[in-house]
Structure 1
Amino acid sequence: MSDSQKPKKKVVQAQSTPKSASSTTTKKKSANTEITWQASPEQKAKARNFRIIAFILWLAALGLEFWVIYKEFQKPEINTWLVVGLIVVIGALAITGSLLWRKSNKIDPASEKDKVRFFVQNQLGAFIAALAFLPLLYFVFTNKNMDTKQKGIIGVVAVLMFGGAFYTGVETNAASQEQYSQDKNLVLHLNGKDEVYWTAGGGVYHLCEAVSDLQRESQSNEIVVGTIEQAQDAGKHRLTKKVATEARQCGIDESVYTSAIEQWEAGTLGAPGSTATTPVDPEETSDETTDDGATDESTEETEDTEE
């Protein structure tokens, strides 16, 4: 490693956390669906607590919505600012619940295999936002007890809160067990062990302490080293996307990282020592006919990503 690559920050060991033997259980599956990462019991418990709180907040938001619709909107004279205040509270409850729900999905993500559950689990916050505000908006604009000015004020606030709640509830970059497994497999291929690096101010974990992104992150003078589980417990849930650049900065041999990163990007990288490899094109394994009419069976060639 050159002098320019030597780390300038102090490297500290991450604090150990209680760990169950089942937290890193490997499941043998096909190349496209191999899952080698699983949330630990501690991570599952933390995610469950976030989900419980999110549900409580969402139920409170829906309860206030029904109160506004069936109590406040039924009065002959509607208190505009009371209704506006209640709508703001509904939005705040929905948004906070969605933020906690999304956080729980990063800690304990769903598997992409069950597409319906994966979609519902990751977009549930958006569904709740629609349920909390669309009926409310309908009753605002069809209410006969409000004049045009009242409908305009309450309607604008409701639309704004709905937009904020819906935007917060939509997950456009959903985490999955398969993604976390691919990240873990790549780290094992490139580093040879479950060891990654991060800082307090960063949002992802990295391959080694010498990478430029770690040296630039200014919120901490320390670089933490630990396992992937420890990095995720610290809020760094995924591997950086600059893996090719970092592999070079870490001094990893190009013959090791090139094919591994290609398979990681395709989502087909198996764990070191497993039989999972990139799926073979059927045409590559078909029989080839020689000039004299004899059939010469071709052999499957696979890339070795463990060197």
Structure 2
Amino acid sequence: MAEQGKKKVVRVESTAPAGDGGGTAVAESTAPTWTPTPEAKKQAMTFRLIAGGLWLLAIAGEVFTIFWVLRQVPVNMVLLIILIVVIGALAIGGSLLWKRANRLDPASKEDKVRFFVQNQLGAIIAVIAFLPLIILIFTNKDLDGKQKALAGIIAIVIGGGALALGIDYAPPSVEQYTEESNVIVQLTGEDIVYWTKSGSVFHVCSEVPDVNKESKDGQIYEGTVAAAHAAGKDRLVSYWQREAVNYCGYTQEQVDAVEAGSAPADEESVEAPEETPAAE
């Protein structure tokens, strides 16, 4: 590990062999499509299986509530409310894990239907888990007005929360990750980015102020774009151009060349500023 001011730079190694779909795109005449590392893909599958299990339990809870609890005379209100809360917790838990999986192994925008379903499945499950239940609560003949209002409002609030948390407002895509990888490789000549444990984005170099802010572990992590996404970082920082010019030693001309879609012509000029190499 190399010291960067008061913080240490820690190298995060990619688990995929070079040139074998290692979760990144490299600078070639035709830029390849980004693919996740095997480790990230495996972790995404694990998250999806757990999320699917939680959603299955949520739907099972809904079915039990509809076909047993709401058919009791009188309806057990305590049990009904507990089940509504449990269904909501299961739906939300599944959605959060599903979103994490999508950031490790995103869908492509080329298949619009799959892209929508994969990224908004948490919201779809929330609707399935709560809409029939809410309708049947308000139409149940064995509940009086106050009971319907109480159970119905609780179901609407929790169901609405599950729906809101299930929606992915900025869904990741293969195209996004490919563009990020190509930007980094074209600008710096290598697939290396920097991030912190608590941050949600990654950066062009280790000199930027955002990664040098005080943190609990006192470390800056260094690795490929794929490793950054595998670590839970959503995207390349939106103002990477300003970071590259102001803190990383690149010129505006180099940044403009990358944005235009071509690597700078002078190979020596695109080398990153000299840094103390991180220990293996």
Q: TM-score of the superposition, structure 2-length normalised?
A: 0.86
CA distance in structure 1 between the aligned counterparts of 2:26 and 2:222, rounded to whole angstroms: 26
CA distance in structure 2 between the aligned counterparts of 1:69 and 1:135, rounded to whole angstroms: 8
Q: Counterpart of 2:21?
A: 22
Q: 1:67 aligned to 49, 64, 72, which one?
A: 64
Q: 1:258 aligned to 246, 256, 259, which one?
A: 256
CA distance in structure 2 between the aligned counterparts of 1:72 and 1:18, rounded to whole angstroms: 50
Give the SS at the match of 1:202: coil
CA distance in structure 2 between the aligned counterparts of 1:64 and 1:202, rounded to whole angstroms: 36
Q: Kindly state the Cα deviation for residue 37 of structure 1 after the two structures are TM-superposed.
A: 1.3
Give the SS at the match of 1:38: coil
Give the SS at the match of 2:201: coil
How do 1:126-275 residues align onto structure 2 when only pairs under 5 Å count? 126-248=123-245, 249-261=247-259, 263=260, 269=261
CA distance in structure 2 between the aligned counterparts of 1:29 and 1:141, rounded to whole angstroms: 61
Task: Say if 1:305 and 1:232 are closer, same or farther in 2 by CA, change over 3 A.
Answer: farther
Q: Kindly state the Cα deviation for residue 214 of structure 1 after the two structures are TM-superposed.
A: 1.4
How do 1:15-54 residues align onto structure 2 when only pairs under 5 Å count? 15-20=12-17, 21-24=20-23, 35-54=32-51
Task: Say if 1:30 and 1:134 are closer, same or farther in 2 by CA, change over 3 A.
Answer: farther
Fraction of identical pairs, as percent: 42
Q: Counterpart of 2:278?
A: none
The higher radius of gyration belongs to 1
CA distance in structure 1 between the aligned counterparts of 2:22 and 2:51, rounded to whole angstroms: 25
Mind listing any 5+ residue stretches in structure 2 that lack a counterpart?
A: 271-280
CA distance in structure 1 between the aligned counterparts of 2:221 and 2:155, rounded to whole angstroms: 44
Give the SS at the match of 1:83: helix
Q: 1:57 aligned to 49, 54, 67, which one?
A: 54
Aligned 8 A contact 2:51 2:94 in 1: yes
The residue type paired with residue 72 of structure 1 is: V
Aligned 8 A contact 2:27 2:185 in 1: no
Aligned 8 A contact 1:10 1:222 in 2: yes
How do 1:67-106 residues align onto structure 2 when only pairs under 5 Å count? 67-106=64-103
Task: Report the aligned-residue RMSD.
Answer: 2.4
The residue type paired with residue 123 of structure 1 is: Q
> Structure 1: which 4+ aligned runs deviate by more than 4 Å?
24-31, 303-307
CA distance in structure 1 between the aligned counterparts of 2:24 and 2:161, rounded to whole angstroms: 39
Task: Say if 1:211 and 1:25 are closer, same or farther in 2 by CA, change over 3 A.
Answer: closer
CA distance in structure 2 between the aligned counterparts of 1:25 and 1:200, rounded to whole angstroms: 21
Give the SS at the match of 1:220: coil
Q: Kindly state the Cα deviation for residue 16 of structure 1 after the two structures are TM-superposed.
A: 2.5
Q: Counterpart of 1:277?
A: none
Task: Say if 1:142 and 1:29 are closer, same or farther in 2 by CA, change over 3 A.
Answer: farther
Q: TM-score of the superposition, structure 1-length normalised?
A: 0.79
Task: Say if 1:115 and 1:27 are closer, same or farther in 2 by CA, change over 3 A.
Answer: farther
CA distance in structure 1 between the aligned counterparts of 2:35 and 2:6, rounded to whole angstroms: 31
Q: Kindly state the Cα deviation for residue 243 of structure 1 after the two structures are TM-superposed.
A: 0.7
Q: Kindly state the Cα deviation for residue 238 of structure 1 after the two structures are TM-superposed.
A: 1.5
CA distance in structure 2 between the aligned counterparts of 1:25 and 1:182, rounded to whole angstroms: 10
